[in-house]
Amino acid sequence: MRLLMDMNSRKTKRIGVYRPDSPYSEQECEEIIQKLELFLDGQLQGKAREEVETLISQCEYCAEQYNFERRLREVLSRSWRAFSDEAQAIVARVRRRIWGDTIS
User: What local confidence, expressed as pLDDT, does residue 88 receive?
Assistant: 78
The DSSP bridge partners found for residue 17 are 12
Cα 100 to chain centroid, rounded:
28
Q: Consecutive sets of 10 residues in the chain, 104 residues long: mean pLDDT of each?
A: 40 51 75 83 91 86 88 84 75 88 56
| pTM confidence score | 0.55
Q: Where are the domains of the chain?
A: 2-99
Contact by Cβ (8 Å): 42, 70: no
From CA 50, how far away is CA 75, in angstroms rounded? 26
pLDDT at residue 70 in the model: 92
Q: Which of 78, 77, 32, 25 is nearest to 52 (CA)?
A: 32
